[in-house]
Copies of this chain bind each other. A is one copy, B any other.
Amino acid sequence: MEVFFLRIEMYSHNAKRMKSSIIRELLKNTMQPGMVSFGGGAPDPETFPSKELAEISQEVIKNEYKTCLQYGTTEGDKLLREEYLKLLKEHDNISGLDLENIMIVAGSQSSLDLISKVFLDHDSIYFISKPAYLGAASAFSIFSRNNEDLLLKEDGMDLDTLERRLEEIKQKGELLKVKFVYVVPNFHNPAGVTLSLEKRKRLLSICEKYDILVVEDDPYGSLRYNGEAIPSLFELGTYNRVLLLKTFSKVLSPGMRLGFIIGREDVVHSLVRAKQSTDLCTSSLTQRIAARFLQKHDIYESINNTIKIYRRKKDIMLEELEEQFKDLPMTWTKPEGGLFIWATLPEKFDTHEMLDIALKHGVIYIPGDAFSINNGCNNSMRLSFCLPPEDDIVEGVKRLKKAVLEYGHEKGLL
């Protein structure tokens, strides 16, 4: 067979820059027998209401095949949008919306792609936290690499820097280039921290002042294990300034690929147009199964069960970290929800370099530099507690200690 060399010019500038995510590469290691993985953010399959979904799927295909096996509208199944608006009203204190304010997408990653298409030119500026949710960073960077980083603190991103940078950009006459602030307000991935109420209000008032949008990505909001829920930016700011992204991936099933964008009508319409040329429509089948599930069952019953499972796992990981690392110079966040703990070692530690030793000891984490768009976070790591069984969490933290000790001594850091 004749083989030709594909000239590099053939690829777009974007493709030349695209790298396979380090997370994805790492996760290949999770398949090794005996390995404890704190790596992925995949939910525990025991949280999926599989019995109910199995039954509903059969009914839906049998009785509604003309709809659920057919093309759907780009904005999404009307029934599911209606049901989701009810959930928002009952559980998120968000009301006053109609069907034009909500669209359904094939998972939240797709929301980020569509938002990029609709708002970002190659010189557009957007603000994102450091560490950043990598899925967002990679979606945005296909359209613009003009990101501004805001350091994450215990109570969320650094708003002093936001305000200072916006003022500087305004002085340079480039304010029109600024499109949005991207924020994961609850139980941040990877950092586990939550944006405080005070900062939520301040963020909104800054965005008001400089006339920019807020993209509020909230995959974990309903997975709160301790403390009081904080109103969403969307609720505080009204839907005029905020685009709210929700997903069923952490509370129903990621395999169904269902996400939601909630926002002002004109923006939702633009996003629907972008979706037409991106993937036409979301699966009518998974949408209708989800809609019937919401009609027949209380999803919050399933979520409450999920919360119990994850709260226990989170507590076990925190307790074991406390136990194993009490005499070692490592700090970590104590999330009130979500799936992730962010651990930080002294500055000269390089968690990426340390990973080989961790793998040798049989434990996987995601090194911090994976969450840094340009560079940094080298001495941190993301630990996910959602997938491993409880015993494995204890064992994994012990292995992590061994890795830290071995690396630290080898490098003369301990």
A residues with CB within 8 A of B: 1-4, 6-7, 9-15, 18-21, 24, 40, 42-43, 45, 48, 50-51, 53-55, 57-59, 61-62, 65-72, 74, 96, 106-107, 109-110, 112-113, 117-121, 124, 135, 138-139, 141-143, 176, 179, 211, 213, 238, 240-241, 249, 253-257, 264, 266-267, 270, 272-274, 276-286
Contact = CB atoms under 8 A, between A and B. Distances in A.
A153 B124 CA distance: 43
Contacts of A43: 70
A273 B18 contact: yes
Contacts of A254: 69-71, 284
* Chain A contact residues, majority secondary structure: helix
Contact of A135 (B70, B107, B277, B286): B277
Given A21-B276, A24-B74, A71-B254, 7 more contacts: A12-B143, A15-B273, A24-B276, A50-B61, A50-B65, A54-B59, A113-B279
Given A54-B58, A284-B255, A110 B278 contact: yes
A3 B240 CA distance: 6
B119 A280 contact: no
7 contacts: A21-B276, A45-B66, A53-B61, A70-B253, A138-B277, A255-B283, A283-B286
- How many copies, total? 2
Given A240-B3, A281-B257, A61 B71 contact: no
Contacts of A139: 277-278
Contacts of A69: 45, 48, 50, 53, 253-256
A118 B6 contact: no
Given A6-B266, A119-B12, A138 B255 contact: no
A117 B6 contact: no
A91 B139 CA distance: 37
Most buried by B among A19, A120, A279: A279
B267 A6 contact: yes
Nearest to A21: B276
B2 A238 contact: yes
Nearest to A111: B279
A110 B280 CA distance: 8
A-B pairs, top 6 by smallest CB distance, nearest first, are: A255-B284, A50-B65, A54-B61, A138-B277, A69-B253, A58-B58
B57 A20 contact: no
A10 B61 contact: no
